[in-house]
Amino acid sequence: MDAAAGGGKVERRYRATRSRRVVRPKASVPPGETRLEPGRVGDEVETFRAALVSRVIGQQPAIDVVTEAYQIFRAGLASSDRPLGSFLFLGPTGTGKTNLVEAMAEVCFEDRRAMLKIDCAEFSHSHEVARLVGSPPGYLGHQETNPYLSSSNLLRYQTADFPFTLLLFDEIEKANDALWQLLLGVLDKARLTLGTNKEVDLSSCFIFLTSNIGSRSVSDILAPRLGFATGGSEPEGRVQQRIEDAVLWKARRTFSPEFMNRLDHKIVFHRLDGGQLAQILEIELMKIEQRLARRGEPIRFVYSARARQRLLAEGTDPEHGARPLKRVLERRIVFPLARLIASRQLVGGETVAVDWRDDFAEAEFVLTAGRAMVARAG
Ligand SMILES: Nc1ncnc2c1ncn2[C@@H]1O[C@H](COP(=O)(O)OP(=O)(O)OP(=O)(O)O)[C@@H](O)[C@H]1O
Ligand SMILES: [Mg+2]
């Protein structure tokens, strides 16, 4: 029975993949008629997708579903009594779940923080939900509370070009019962009743929910492979499939069927491989340069291949995605840079070569243009 069900699943997956690739011969249409191409994506949507791809490495399935929902919104086909899209992002820590929402905020509103973000861990008691919807009249604090999910707050980041709101519920496994009730209503009808009995319309929201539930099963699946970038005899695709199945199974056991059935998409983020971490390293090095450029005249950095390798080697930990890499960059690059700038060894307009020799405990910073001197961070 199980085997048959499993076989069906594989079969369906196979057909789904195949149908995307099949190029059907085009039957001729009568003269004067034009065959339309529903597979073609609009230019603006393509630009949106490309902007996400350059900010979120890997995670193609997640980028695809977000782009699809965005396209439906752009075409004016979104339903008026549901959110524009609801996405549950699952999978290991540090793999880009929150980053994808931040990337969308940056692409649309030029600010990674342009979203309403609800940290579910902060709502461990039912009465705290009043911070989101306000207290009913007569209750203590009724006047002072400006509910987070008020209509005016939902409009806070909207622009004429992007008239929608990004609403993120982080770590939903930590939400209390009252927050779950609120979520169910929002996902189903895109409506919310405030403490004052006023209704709030959330049909112009993209709703993202993240959870790393099932991460323990991910560690178990990866356990024999940890520490070996290409270790284990199982093909990567099969490991990824096992992770996906285990995480979704855990999510179905943890979250109620009402909740799971209301979501448009449930996506398990993939763990990041060495090549993807190398791409993330480039993005993060660029971000450091941009941070400095905001202060005034930019400083240019040229990293040697050795420096990149050492940063990657120190920042790679298969269980924690890109988080260790970011910490290594803070410790090895940002902290020394801060010291170099504070001691005026490094000023705007200069070019710095960053190297890291094998026998050195720390990275080396050498001025190659501007004042000729070796900058020592220590
Ligand atoms: N796929 C990715 N592409 C680009 N950068 C990434 C990616 N994954 C992680 N990062 C980097 O690592 C940081 C942490 O990732 P993020 O906050 O998205 O983790 P998460 O998947 O939400 O994990 P958690 O479950 O612990 O919240 C991001 O801010 C980003 O800089
Ligand atoms: Mg996160």
326 alpha carbon – ligand 1 mean position (Å): 10
Which atom of ligand 1 lies closest to the CA of 55?
Answer: 4
pLDDT in tens, the chain (378 residues): 333 333 333 333 434 344 455 556 666 788 888 887 777 777 899 999 999 999 999 999 999 999 999 999 999 989 889 999 999 999 999 999 999 999 999 999 999 999 999 999 998 777 788 888 887 766 665 555 678 999 999 999 999 999 999 999 999 999 888 899 899 999 999 999 988 889 999 999 999 999 988 877 777 777 665 544 444 577 778 888 888 999 999 999 999 999 999 999 999 999 899 999 999 999 999 999 998 888 788 889 999 999 999 999 999 987 899 999 999 999 999 999 999 999 999 888 889 999 998 888 889 999 886 554 445 444
Cα-to-chain-centroid distance, residue 15: 29
- AA identity, residue 231: G
Other CB atoms within 10 Å distance of the CB of residue 300: 15
Q: Token match 């249409």: residue?
A: 29
Please give the pLDDT value at position 369: 65
Query: In the beta sheet, which residues pair with residue 166?
Result: 206
**pTM of the shown model:** 0.85
Q: Which domains can be identified in the chain, with CATH numbers?
A: 43-271 (3.40.50.300), 275-375 (1.10.8.60)
Residues sharing a CB contact under 8 Å with residue 300, sequence separation 6 or more, in sequence order: 289, 350, 351, 352, 369
Rounded-to-integer distance, Cα 322 and Cα 331, Å? 15
Pairing state between β 85-90 and 205-210 = parallel
Angle at the Cα of 170 from the Cα atoms of 169 and 171, rounded to 5 degrees: 125
Tokens of 243: 């992770």
Rounded-to-integer distance, Cα 66 and Cα 288, Å? 28
Closest C-alpha among 135, 269, 139 to residue 211: 269
195 alpha carbon – ligand 2 mean position (Å): 29
Which atom of ligand 1 lies closest to the CA of 57?
Answer: 3
Rounded-to-integer distance, Cα 301 and Cα 293, Å? 12
Among 66, 98, 171, 216, say which to mutate for ligand 1: greatest number of ligand atoms within 8 Å of CB. Answer: 98
219 alpha carbon – ligand 1 mean position (Å): 17
Ligand with minimal distance to 100 CA: 1
12 alpha carbon – ligand 2 mean position (Å): 31
Q: List all residues whose CB is within 6 A of at least one atom of ligand 1.
A: 56-59, 93-99, 210, 212, 280, 283, 321-323, 326
Tokens of 250: 């855990």
Rounded-to-integer distance, Cα 355 and Cα 302, Å? 9
Q: Say how many Å lie between the first and final Cα of the chain, rounded.
A: 66
Ligand with minimal distance to 95 CA: 1
Q: In what order do the strands lie in the sheet with 300-303?
A: 300-303, 351-355, 364-369, 374-375
Among 52, 56, 99, say which to mutate for ligand 1: greatest number of ligand atoms within 8 Å of CB. Answer: 99
